[in-house]
Structure 1
Amino acid sequence: MCTALAYKTKDFYFGRTLDYESSYGEEIVITPRQYPFAFRNGAKCNEHYALIGMAHVAGGYPLYYEAVNEKGLGMAGLNFVGNACYGKEKEGKDNIASFELIPWILGQCSTVKEVRELLEKINVTNLAFHESFPVSPLHWLIADEKETITVEAVEEGLFVYDNPVGVLTNNPPFPQQMFQLNNYMHLSPKQPKNLFSERLKLQTYSRGMGALGLPGDLSSASRFVRAAFTKLNAIATQKEEDSVGQFFHIMGTVEQSKGCCEVKEGAYEYTIYTSCCNASKGIYYYTTYFNHQINAVDMHEEDLDGKKVVVYPVLQEETIHYQNKTQKD
């Protein structure tokens, strides 16, 4: 289960948590402009926008979990089990396998407006990358600095929804995620007033009581509400460090601790990593469950006209800064 987020201060930021019971060997991957993408529909793309994001590289091919391109467009795929439905190829459509959708869109679109036009021609197919890689049931958050959309391929067809909150979790389908916000319209960062009864002298007894009722469980429906409330009320200065730090604080409200969500006997879902990409500058920040230090990879420090993917390992070991450590043998 995961949460994805679009956030704007001076620059535009895009990122997600990856919550699962095991890692698939993900790495920070930069795909330069001349990496040759060969799509299953026979199309080849030898020149495209450069991408940076988290991916599992299989046989030299980047299977992106999420990425942004050099134009500032971001896209993340989140589990959508029980609802995602991909079909067979359709004549007259751009038949794109689900694992190809991120490079297909980010490789040629610079804005959400262009994505909308491209999606009108797309049919998401159920082809697997390899027989050892099962097809992942996903839906997607796509955003630039001006707008955000959610894309869902379900049994009834491919749907594109405006996403005014800039948040996506897993289930239920996005329209139902948005509808449930009606149940929380009373929440506020301000202290509540007594509307219960004029006959009772009720009063607040703690700070933060305006958010009483904000769901705190780990379900995707509750994480959507919690992330939306936090994001829409969080404030940050225009400084890069403040914006990045605030992004990670927002995502911290939906992080999962190992041991709290058992998915099968002895296996627990936890937040494997959290990412925050400054999409305006192409800087990919991340933390992991075992390393809370914010680490960064800048795509513009690499040769973006190259032909091979550039891979950086995810730093997993915790880094602790001692302010008064004495050297001891």
Structure 2
Amino acid sequence: MCTSIAFSAPYPLFGRNLDLETPFGQQVVATPRSFAFHFHRRPAMPHHLAMIGMATVAGGVPLYAEAMNEAGLYMAGLNFPGNAYYTPADQAAPDAVAPYELIPLVLGSCRTLKEAREILTGIDLLGIPFAPGYPLAPLHWHIADGTGALVMEVTAEGSRLYEDPVGVLTNNPPFPVQLANLTGYQTLSAAPPENRFAPGVPLPPYGQGMGAIGLPGDCSPMSRFVRAAFLKCNSIHSAGDDAVNQFFRILDAVAMVRGSVMTPEGKPDMTLYSCCADPARGVYYFKTYDNSRIHAVNLLRAPLEANTLCCWPLPGGHGFEALN
């Protein structure tokens, strides 16, 4: 369960909530240009664009949940159970890519969404896990830069790339269904409501926000898609710090409170962290469920020509600031 958001203009920002019932060893990881990436069926990539995002590091390899590269291209993997399809190894194409290899491949080699589209079109995903104990996660992907956003879904019917006009992705159902569902909410507005029910009857609004009555408030993927799209499309912000703060406000509105969503195993699904990547400044911002203070890591201040990972463990505590 996750929500990814991409603002492409006028001030590009990208990020997501990662919702999960248990931590996965996540930390902020910057991969410099000379850290070698290795692939099952493609040539190694000893030199590439630097990137930063949230990852778990296993066997010295960053397994990114989402990341942004130094050129400002963003990519995130979101849960897509029951629909994601990976080709068995004995049937996969000679250049097939394992799901965990996809973000390094795209962000390491592509500077723009246009270039990402070219490499992702018709790509075959290889059904090989990273290692024993690391099951294949069923995913689809959100890809964006300052020109727009794409959704990539690979199902049993094949690989598809979709234009994302609202800049939002959640989970199931598939993206075309999510987008079509917005049609049922097109009468919602941030403005006060107009009485079309009975124009001759005095029906004065009794409070602010009534133009959006009917906006779903539950945590299901389709409801989060609608709510995030409405908030993003009606957001008023400028640039810089104001835009980043607004971005987190939107993510807060689709975040999961611990205990409000329980998995079939009886565990609380919750927003482990929220993040925002600012390509104009090369900064990756994040906050965690237990520490709501926004922290920042600047990719451009990392040793970009190095060949070893730069890792920042997530801060503990609640981050309260005493004023007296």
TM-score higher than 0.5 here? yes
Please give the per-residue CA displacement for 1:136-179, whole angstroms capped at 9, x wherever unaligned.
00000000001100000001000000000000000100000000
Q: Tell me the secondary structure at the aligned position of residue 307 of structure 1.
A: coil
1:15 is aligned to 2:15: yes
The 2-side partners of 1:126 and 1:280 are apart by 36
1:111 corresponds to: 112
The alpha carbon displacement at 1:121 in A equals 5.2
1:308 is aligned to 2:304: no
| CA spacing shift, 1:316–1:134, aligned 2, 3 Å | same
2:56 corresponds to: 56
The alpha carbon displacement at 1:183 in A equals 0.5
| Counterpart residue type for residue 105 of structure 2 | W
| Counterpart residue type for residue 243 of structure 1 | A
| CA spacing shift, 1:91–1:162, aligned 2, 3 Å | same
Please give the per-residue CA displacement for 1:197-253, whole angstroms capped at 9, x wherever unaligned.
234222211110001000000100000000000001011122x21011000001111
Please give the per-residue CA displacement for 1:108-135, whole angstroms capped at 9, x wherever unaligned.
0011111111113521111100121000
The 2-side partners of 1:197 and 1:6 are apart by 39
1:71–1:280 Cα contact (<8 Å) kept: no
Q: Tell me the secondary structure at the aligned position of residue 115 of structure 2.
A: helix
Q: Tell me the secondary structure at the aligned position of residue 94 of structure 1.
A: coil
| Counterpart residue type for residue 107 of structure 1 | G
| CA spacing shift, 1:92–1:126, aligned 2, 3 Å | closer
The 1-side partners of 2:310 and 2:173 are apart by 36
The alpha carbon displacement at 1:10 in A equals 5.1
2:213 corresponds to: 212
The 1-side partners of 2:189 and 2:271 are apart by 27
1:327 corresponds to: none
1:188 corresponds to: 189
The 2-side partners of 1:243 and 1:6 are apart by 12
**1:265-280 mapped onto 2 (5 Å cutoff):** 265-280=265-280
Greater displacement, 64-73 / 92-101: 92-101
Number of residue pairs matched?
A: 323
The 2-side partners of 1:73 and 1:275 are apart by 15
**1:229-240 mapped onto 2 (5 Å cutoff):** 229-238=230-239, 240=240
1:66–1:76 Cα contact (<8 Å) kept: yes
The alpha carbon displacement at 1:42 in A equals 4.5
Give the unaligned 5+ runs of structure 2: none
The alpha carbon displacement at 1:92 in A equals 5.9
Identical-pair percentage? 44
The alpha carbon displacement at 1:8 in A equals 4.0
Please give the per-residue CA displacement for 1:7-52, whole angstroms capped at 9, x wherever unaligned.
2455421100010100011000000001011101142110100010
Give the unaligned 5+ runs of structure 1: 325-329
The 2-side partners of 1:293 and 1:310 are apart by 22
Runs of 4+ in 1 over 4 A off after TM superposition: 89-93
**1:37-76 mapped onto 2 (5 Å cutoff):** 37-76=37-76
